[in-house]
Structures are given as structure tokens and as C-alpha cells.
């Protein structure tokens, strides 16, 4: 049988199978009009109840747990879809886990298609980018063909997300598409289900990985099939998901019409994905796939559903990506990436100003308190602060420092010497019963800071030689993550902690000639330097989008606030201060 005819029968069979038995006859009346032979073939398959024998990838014995495919030992099945089944396997030669995707047996019966697939796979394997799931190779066993892929453990992309996080994910997707398009590779089936965000076990949590790059073309080619357009109209085309056409709710208008596609199809899908990340709903939806495809061809997305915080630049980018006429669409994904970076940069520029203002206010208040303490007793103070209300939260004897408020604003932690040595206390806002979380520790525990989800506390402890430790929000499961460090600060995603190697006491003094910043992976304990050795960097904190880290530094007698990229690089000054011992010193934002 002609391969195109085989795929047509298979497509309509699966479309019919999706429908309740009582409406299949009406469906086939429309889908097979004028082609009684086609209808007979589809009804024959429906009568047999399965077409799996015709499209099976491998026999169950080949992929049972423990089965061996070349150097790969099958561990478990991960999923199945229109492009084959996927298994977790262990590479016995390199000692790593991989994903094995099985390919349909019809490949073995079609030498031309198999040869084309091998050619396409070689091109796809040339993609080497941190945001693209890698192809490791091809294996053949028992008359079946297998694709060996990078195993990406993580969460599937889904919205809604906070605007900053959505834009960060979109930027990484755009970078992946840009790298592929530069090599002439079009994804053709970009959708949230084909994007994952790596977890802590990966060693690089929060990284976006785009999967199944170009596999639709590699598997099914680019042949035009006129029956696809008919099926799109009649069936909604659940039938060829993952094949030539892509996934209905994310396919471009030219895909929906069965026309040739280029990189602008990926730009359309990118717009659909970004819209969904921001709005939490699909840009084009409907009760059925046919209704969704009608929306793609005829209607505009509801841009009013985007969050109010969506920057105007991003709204315009979405409109350009989702132009139905490919000739008027954003021509290059690099432009999308640039627009997202510009939008993020504007937020970055605003953040240091706010951070600097807050930090300067805190330092100014501290400096004013210190200078006042040195001044003559009885000297009158300045005018009181206006429009500010202070509420006392604690009343234990002795000093209480390093308060950290929980994300929900209902509780806080702090350090106190009420019991003799420094301990960490937890207390409800408005409550009067602080709980000592480190009462079993005979040494000082201080500098607590709650994690972004409020479930953990990072702190400095002198136990076992000193370092940064993490414990649960109620004092349980204490563990060391470094044997050095002061003033820990959580990254916004809670995966990393940045700290300084020297301790802050007073702005006018320093206990060390140098203080370096390090970031530590909370799960793995992996450490990396942020600032160069020999520099003096203190009290770090993260920007809201986690791209930069702020800290203060003293050069000579001048102190200033700086920021540096999370991966290191050249620090950028935010303030230009005068002599720290001069209480009348003025500061300006650099």
C-alpha cells in the first residue's frame, strides 16, 4: 500500500476512535465522502478494534524493564505519543540515564524513509545548545529503530507564571529556537508539553529545555497530504498530532491549511506559548480541535486576559508573533529574544535604584544612630519621620537582630541573645510567644533568613567549626551546606544561597582585608565563586528576577553598593559615596 494512503487511513482511524460509537457513522460520512474504499479500510480497522499491529514500535518484550537495546538497559516507560513510545534507559557504557524513543516499524519497511530519517537525525544531533534536549544517537535492534535522547528530569512548562518568570522562560525558548533556526532547523511542534524546566537534580535548576526539535519532519517528512486539510475541517485533526501538522492549538495558520512551513511557524507557536505562560490560558482554544483551528484561522487572541503587569513591549511582541499572515509576522526569533531582554533590562535598571534607595536608607539610619551615639548626651535629634508607623514586635531582654519576614507576612524569624548565646527565634506577627528554634545548640546561631516559600531557614552557625546551615521553618532537619559564609540570601526560586566569606560588623570597620561572594546549590551543595578573590563584597542579596546580585563594598574609606551578574563578571557600581566616616556625606546613583 502507498505510504501516503497508509497514513491517511491511520489518521482517520484514530480520529474516528476518539469519537463515541454513536457518532462515528456521521463522522465517516463527511471524512470519507467520495472515497468508499477509504471508508471500507477505516471501518475494517475499527471492526478489528486496533491498528497497533500496523504501527507498533516494538514488541513488549523488547522494552520490558531490564531489556537490553545495544548499550542501553531499559528502566521504565516514560510515555507514549504520536511519534512513538519513550523509555528511561541506562547507558551501561557511560553510566548515565537517557531517554529511548521507539520509532514505528513501518520505517523498517520503507528504506527511503529510514534513510531520510537518518539524515535528518544527523542534522538534529548537530544542535548543541543548553536549552535544547540533545540527540545522542540512533540504535537498531530486532528490526526496530530507536532514538537515544538526553533525559530531561523536570516539570513540564505550564502557566500562568509571574511575569518575570514567564519572560525568563520565554527568553530561553527563544534562544533555543534561534540556535536551531541558524542551522535551518524548524521545530514544527513547539508547545508547552515539549518544554521542560529542569529540577535540582540536574545541577542547573530552572533551565528551560526544548524537546523533540525537528522530529515531526524527521519522522513524517514534508509531503503535502490533501486529506489533512479535509480532516482539519471535518475532524479537528486530533489525528496527526506530532506528525506533519503539529499540535492543533499551537499550529500556525499555514500549518492548519496544510501549506509549506518555515521558521515563522515556530515564531507563531512561540507567541502561543508566551501568551499561555502569562495569561494561564491558550491563545486559541475551543471545545473541540476543529473549533480551536477555526479560532486560529479566523479570530484574534483576547489580549485583555494578559496580566496588567505585562509590559507594553511584550504585548506588542505577542501581536507581531501572532500575525495570521506569515509575511507580516515577526520575521526572526532573534528579535523576540532581543525584545524580551530589553524589557527585562528596564526592570533591572529600576531594581538597583530601588534596592540602592532601601539599602542607603538602612545604612543611613544605622550611620545616624552610630553618630548620634558618639555625640553629646542630650543633643536634640532631627525632625521625626512623618507618615511612618512603628509597631514593636519583640520584647525579649538583650539585642535582637536579623529579622526575616515570612512570605505570607504572618510570622518572622530573628536572632536574639535572650537565652545567653545567640539563638534563632520564630514568632507570629502580633504574637507574644517566641519559639527558640536552636535551643539545643550550645554555640551561636544567627543571621536567619526565610526561604521564598517560607518552608526553610538559612542561617550562620558556629557549630562544627562554623558555616551556613539550613533547617525547616520550625527548626527540624538541620543540615550544613557550607563550612564558611555569612549573611546568607536565598535566590528567588529557592534553589541557591549566596553568602559572603567575611562577617559584617559595622560599616566603618572590617574584620578581613577581603570578602568573596559564593553561590551554593542548596540540594547538591555545589559552590561557585561570584566575585573575584581579593575583592571586598558584603551582605549580598538577589534581584527579584535572579539575574543579578547586589552587595556593598568598601574601597579605601568609601563605601558603595554594587551589582554583579549571578554567574560573575564585571561588577557595576550603583552608588558613588563619600568618606564613610563623614556623617554629612552625600550619595548619588551612578
Q: What is the 3-state secondary structure (H, E, C) of 164-192?
A: HHHHHHHHHHHHHHHHHHHCCCCCCCCCH
pLDDT score recorded for residue 18: 53
pLDDT score recorded for residue 367: 42
pLDDT in tens, 544-585: 988 899 998 877 667 789 999 998 888 888 888 655 444 444
**Omega of the bond leading into 296 within 30 degrees of 0 (cis):** no
- Distance, in Å, from the CA atom of 321 to the CA atom of 178, rounded to the nearest integer, reads 14
- Distance, in Å, from the CA atom of 327 to the CA atom of 331, rounded to the nearest integer, reads 8
pLDDT in tens, 73-88: 999 988 765 556 889 9
pLDDT score recorded for residue 37: 86
- Of 479, 455, 477, which is closest to residue 467 (Cα–Cα)? 479
| Residue 466 exposure: Cα atoms within 13 Å on the Cβ side | 11
Strands (E) in 96-233, as ranges, are 96-102, 135-141, 144-150, 154-156, 195-198, 208-210
* Cα 421 from chain centroid (whole Å): 42
Phi and psi (nearest 5°) for 290? -60, -40
Q: Decide if 332 is catalytic.
A: no
- Distance, in Å, from the CA atom of 423 to the CA atom of 172, rounded to the nearest integer, reads 42
- Distance, in Å, from the CA atom of 151 to the CA atom of 97, rounded to the nearest integer, reads 7
- Select which of 189, 266, 423, 444 is catalytic: 189
pLDDT score recorded for residue 216: 60
pLDDT score recorded for residue 3: 65
pLDDT (tens place) for every residue of the chain, 590 residues total: 676 777 778 777 766 765 556 567 777 877 788 888 888 888 877 765 433 333 333 444 456 778 888 899 999 988 765 556 889 999 998 888 999 988 766 566 677 777 777 877 887 888 888 899 999 988 888 777 888 999 998 899 999 999 999 999 999 999 999 999 998 899 999 999 999 998 877 667 789 999 988 776 665 555 433 333 333 333 333 333 333 345 788 999 998 888 889 999 999 999 999 999 999 999 998 877 778 888 999 999 999 999 999 999 999 999 999 999 999 999 999 999 999 988 877 654 444 444 444 444 444 444 444 444 444 333 444 455 566 778 889 988 888 999 999 998 899 999 999 888 899 999 999 888 899 999 989 999 999 999 999 999 999 999 988 999 999 999 999 999 999 999 999 999 999 999 999 886 655 444 446 789 999 999 888 899 999 888 889 899 999 988 899 998 877 667 789 999 998 888 888 888 655 444 444 443 33
pLDDT score recorded for residue 372: 44
- Distance, in Å, from the CA atom of 174 to the CA atom of 311, rounded to the nearest integer, reads 18
Amino acid at each position: 500500500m502507498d505510504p501516503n494512503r497508509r497514513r491517511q487511513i491511520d489518521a482517520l482511524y484514530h480520529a474516528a476512535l476518539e469519537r463515541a460509537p454513536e457518532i462515528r457513522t456521521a463522522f465517516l460520512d463527511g471524512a470519507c465522502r467520495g472515497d468508499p474504499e477509504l471508508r471500507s479500510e477505516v471501518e475494517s480497522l475499527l471492526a478489528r478494534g486496533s491498528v497497533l499491529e500496523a504501527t507498533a514500535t516494538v514488541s513488549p518484550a523488547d522494552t520490558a524493564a531490564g531489556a537490553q537495546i545495544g548499550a542501553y538497559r531499559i528502566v521504565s516507560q516514560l510515555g507514549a505519543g504520536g511519534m512513538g513510545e519513550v523509555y528511561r534507559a541506562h547507558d551501561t557504557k557511560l553510566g548515565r540515564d537517557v531517554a529511548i524513543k521507539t520509532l514505528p516499524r513501518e520505517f523498517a519497511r520503507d528504506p527511503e524513509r529510514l534513510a531520510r530519517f537518518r539524515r535528518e537525525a544527523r542534522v538534529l544531533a548537530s544542535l548543541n545548545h543548553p536549552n535544547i534536549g540533545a540527540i545522542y544517537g540512533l540504535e537498531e535492534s530486532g528490526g526496530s529503530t530507536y532514538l537515544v535522547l538526553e533525559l530531561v528530569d523536570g516539570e513540564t512548562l505550564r502557566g500562568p507564571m509571574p511575569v518575570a518568570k514567564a519572560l525568563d522562560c520565554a527568553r530561553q525558548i527563544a534562544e533555543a529556537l534561534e540556535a536551531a533556526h541558524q542551522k535551518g532547523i524548524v521545530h514544527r511542534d513547539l508547545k508547552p508539553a515539549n518544554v521542560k524546566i529542569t529540577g535540582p537534580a540536574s545541577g542547573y535548576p530552572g533551565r528551560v529545555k526544548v524537546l523533540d526539535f525537528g522530529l515531526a519532519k524527521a519522522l513524517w517528512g514534508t509531503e503535502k497530504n490533501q486529506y489533512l486539510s479535509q480532516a482539519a475541517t471535518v475532524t479537528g485533526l486530533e489525528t496527526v498530532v506530532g506528525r506533519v501538522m503539529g499540535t492543533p492549538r499551537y499550529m500556525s495558520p499555514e500549518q492548519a491549511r496544510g501549506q509549506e512551513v518555515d521558521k515563522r511557524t515556530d515564531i507563531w507557536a512561540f507567541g502561543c506559548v508566551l501568551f499561555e505562560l502569562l495569561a494561564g490560558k491558550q491563545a486559541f482554544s475551543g471545545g473541540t480541535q476543529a473549533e480551536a483551528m477555526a479560532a486560529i484561522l479566523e479570530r484574534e487572541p483576547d489580549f485583555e486576559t494578559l496580566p496588567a503587569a505585562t509590559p507594553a513591549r511584550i504585548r506588542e511582541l505577542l501581536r507581531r508573533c501572532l500575525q495570521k499572515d506569515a509575511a507580516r509576522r515577526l520575521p526572526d526569533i532573534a528579535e523576540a529574544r532581543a525584545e524580551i531582554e530589553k524589557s527585562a533590562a528596564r526592570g533591572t535598571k529600576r531594581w538597583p535604584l530601588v534596592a540602592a534607595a532601601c539599602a542607603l536608607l538602612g545604612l543611613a539610619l544605622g550611620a545616624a544612630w552610630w553618630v548620634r551615639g558618639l555625640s553629646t548626651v542630650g543633643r536634640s535629634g532631627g525632625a521625626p519621620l512623618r507618615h511612618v508607623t512603628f509597631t514593636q514586635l519583640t520584647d525579649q531582654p538583650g539585642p535582637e537582630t536579623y529579622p526575616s519576614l515570612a512570605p505570607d507576612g504572618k510570622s518572622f524569624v530573628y536572632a536574639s541573645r535572650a537565652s545567653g548565646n545567640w539563638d534563632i527565634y520564630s514568632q507570629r506577627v502580633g504574637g507574644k510567644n517566641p519559639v527558640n528554634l536552636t535551643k539545643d545548640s550550645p554555640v551561636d546561631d544567627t543571621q536567619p533568613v526565610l526561604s521564598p516559600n517560607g518552608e526553610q531557614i538559612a542561617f550562620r552557625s558556629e557549630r562544627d567549626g562554623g558555616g551556613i546551615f539550613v533547617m525547616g521553618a520550625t527548626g527540624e532537619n538541620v543540615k550544613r551546606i557550607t563550612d564558611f559564609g555569612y549573611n546568607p540570601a536565598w535566590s528567588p526560586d529557592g534553589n541557591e544561597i549566596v553568602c559572603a566569606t567575611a562577617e559584617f560588623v559595622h560599616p566603618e570597620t572590617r574584620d578581613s582585608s577581603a570578602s568573596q561572594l559564593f553561590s551554593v546549590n542548596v540540594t547538591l551543595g555545589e559552590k561557585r565563586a561570584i566575585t573575584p578573590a581579593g575583592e571586598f563584597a558584603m551582605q549580598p542579596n538577589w534581584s527579584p528576577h535572579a539575574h543579578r546580585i547586589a552587595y556593598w563594598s568598601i574601597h579605601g574609606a568609601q563605601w558603595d553598593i554594587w551589582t554583579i551578574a549571578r554567574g560573575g563578571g564585571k561588577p557595576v557600581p550603583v552608588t558613588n559615596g563619600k568618606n564613610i566616616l563623614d556623617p554629612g556625606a552625600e550619595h548619588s546613583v551612578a
